[in-house]
């Protein structure tokens, strides 16, 4: 796909935004500071996009120069160095192309929001719980590598060290842009530690990625919720707290139920449960709005539905396959260590390319 026309449009838009920022009057009675913030964010995105494009053109020129050397040079030792350099430059160009495509489209309305992630075992019993723990570790490592802040909001473990359910928040740049691709069913194929016969089992875990809602986004009146308190429990159901500090909140109009027992303070657990509830309600509201537009749904990568299988982790073959774009990688071990930025960038680039093609057609 030729990206030049899109880059020309981006350059023109950068000039317009730059002028709008220069002419913004903070002292005007109707000055909208939110508009200025949005323009500033758009300018930063366009600036980064065009900077990456300039870098790509520079690297492509360097690669062309090296190719000329390869065609004209006869020294075998020098030729080997040139070939190695060419391979490195080609990899760099591929990486830049992915980053450029990811920045071409205007950001999603949730782009600047923090994210709440919920992980739950689905099919597979104890093995599913163990893989849920693996996914939590994977996202924790990813957060460390990208400089995101991870806060565990609620966590319930089983006797084997697996997870019954976990909810955590992520804060930092690009959190929602990348993590939105994780929403859905993750399937694992491996020999469980609980399997004595050496047979490969298939288990599934659901991941829900929610844009975190602020209080100003959704007003929840006290009459709409029912709050119940209970005693926290640990693995196997044993009580881990002598006071009723755990909180369960039911949103009466929708029937949504959220509980939190992570903290020793009932007040803190209620605060966490409300954060999760607001985010689930925002997701529900946005899903309803998106469903009204068939075109908008076609442009999405999958539906984000928890019943949709999005990825398979095949341990015997060290392979990870993302089913939305049929992308396969043979670095499962690295990915489970949190090194999935490249995969997420590849998914973002594929989504952008599909949306750009849809605009043309």
Check whether residue 202 and residue 233 sit in a common domain.
Answer: no
Check whether residue 325 and residue 258 sit in a common domain.
Answer: no
- Output the pLDDT for position 312: 95
Asked if residue 236 belongs to a domain, the reply is yes
Check whether residue 47 and residue 74 sit in a common domain.
Answer: yes
Residue finishing a domain among 257, 290, 323 = 290
Asked if residue 194 belongs to a domain, the reply is yes
- Output the pLDDT for position 15: 95
> What pTM was computed for the model?
0.69
CATH number of the domain within which 274 lies:
3.30.160.20
Check whether residue 138 and residue 50 sit in a common domain.
Answer: no
Find out whether 135 and 335 touch, Cβ atoms under 8 Å.
Answer: no
Write the Ramachandran bin of 13: left for phi over 0, alpha for psi from -120 to 50, otherwise beta. Answer: alpha
R_g of the chain computed on alpha carbons: 24
- Output the pLDDT for position 13: 93
Asked if residue 217 belongs to a domain, the reply is no
Check whether residue 285 and residue 301 sit in a common domain.
Answer: no
Q: How many domains does the chain have?
A: 3
- Output the pLDDT for position 235: 54
- Output the pLDDT for position 303: 40
Residue-by-residue pLDDT tens, the chain, 361 positions? 678 888 999 999 999 999 999 988 888 787 777 788 878 888 988 999 999 999 999 999 999 988 888 777 677 788 888 888 899 999 999 889 888 887 887 777 777 778 999 999 988 888 899 999 999 999 999 999 999 999 888 888 887 788 888 989 998 877 888 898 999 999 999 988 777 677 888 999 999 888 887 766 677 888 888 888 877 665 555 545 555 678 888 888 888 888 887 777 788 888 888 888 888 888 877 777 666 554 443 444 444 344 578 999 999 999 999 999 899 999 999 999 999 988 988 888 888 888 777 665 4
Burial 126-165 (b: 16+ CB within 10 A, else e): bbbbbbbbbbbebbbbbbeebebebeebbbbbbeeebbeb
Helix boundaries (H) for the chain:
4-23, 33-72, 76-104, 126-146, 175-179, 266-291, 294-299, 332-336, 341-360
Closest CA to 118 of 212, 238, 187, 190: 212
Asked if residue 110 belongs to a domain, the reply is no
Check whether residue 191 and residue 309 sit in a common domain.
Answer: yes
Check whether residue 202 and residue 305 sit in a common domain.
Answer: yes
Residue finishing a domain among 104, 135, 160 = 104
Asked if residue 122 belongs to a domain, the reply is yes
Give the whole-angstrom CA distance, residue 168 versus residue 153: 5
Check whether residue 183 and residue 127 sit in a common domain.
Answer: yes
Per-residue CA distances from 229 to 63, 167, 259 (Å) = 65, 19, 9
Domain interval for residue 250: 222-290
SS3 percent helix, strand, coil of the chain, rounded to 5, is 50, 20, 30
Check whether residue 66 and residue 12 sit in a common domain.
Answer: yes
Cβ neighbourhood burial of 49 (10 Å; 0-12, 13-18, 19+):
buried
Q: What residues contact residue 92 under an 8 Å CB cut-off, 6+ apart?
A: 59
Residue finishing a domain among 104, 126, 147 = 104
Check whether residue 153 and residue 243 sit in a common domain.
Answer: no
- Output the pLDDT for position 297: 39
CB atoms within 10 A of CB 19: 10
Check whether residue 276 and residue 303 sit in a common domain.
Answer: no
Asked if residue 216 belongs to a domain, the reply is no
Check whether residue 71 and residue 170 sit in a common domain.
Answer: no
Find out whether 166 and 155 touch, Cβ atoms under 8 Å.
Answer: yes
């Amino acid at each position: 796909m030729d990206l030049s026309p899109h880059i020309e449009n981006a350059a023109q838009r950068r000039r317009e935004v730059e002028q709008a920022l220069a002419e913004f009057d903070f002292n005007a009675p109707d000055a909208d500071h939110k508009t200025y913030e949005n323009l500033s964010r758009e300018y930063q995105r366009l600036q980064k996009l065009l900077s990456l494009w300039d870098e790509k053109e520079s690297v492509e020129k360097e690669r062309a120069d090296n190719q000329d050397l390869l065609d004209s040079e006869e020294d075998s030792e020098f030729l080997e160095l040139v070939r190695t350099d060419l391979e490195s430059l080609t990899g760099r160009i591929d990486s830049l192309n992915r980053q450029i495509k990811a920045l071409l489209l205007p950001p999603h309305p949730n782009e600047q929001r923090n994210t709440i992630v919920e992980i739950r075992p689905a099919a597979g019993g104890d093995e599913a719980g163990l893989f849920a723990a693996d996914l939590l570790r994977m996202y924790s490592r990813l957060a460390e590598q990208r400089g995101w802040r991870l806060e565990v909001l609620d966590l319930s473990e089983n006797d084997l060290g697996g997870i019954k359910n976990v909810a955590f928040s992520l804060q930092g740049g690009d959190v929602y842009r990348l993590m939105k691709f994780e929403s859905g069913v993750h399937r694992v194929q491996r020999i469980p530690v609980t399997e004595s016969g050496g047979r490969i089992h298939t288990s599934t875990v659901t991941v829900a990625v929610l844009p975190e809602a602020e209080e100003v986004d959704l007003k929840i009146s006290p009459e709409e919720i029912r709050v119940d308190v209970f005693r926290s429990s640990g693995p196997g159901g044993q009580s881990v707290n002598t006071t009723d500090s755990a909180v369960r909140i039911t949103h009466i109009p929708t029937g949504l139920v959220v509980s939190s027992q992570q903290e020793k303070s009932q007040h803190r657990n209620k605060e966490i449960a409300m954060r999760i509830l607001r985010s689930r309600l925002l997701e529900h509201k946005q899903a309803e709005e998106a469903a009204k537009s068939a075109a908008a749904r076609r442009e999405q990568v999958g539906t984000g539905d928890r019943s949709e299988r999005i990825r398979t982790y095949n341990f015997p073959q060290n392979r990870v396959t993302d089913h939305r774009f049929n992308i396969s990688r043979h670095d499962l071990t690295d990915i489970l260590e949190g090194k999935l930025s490249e995969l997420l960038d590849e998914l973002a680039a594929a989504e952008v390319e599909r949306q750009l093609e849809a605009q043309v057609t």
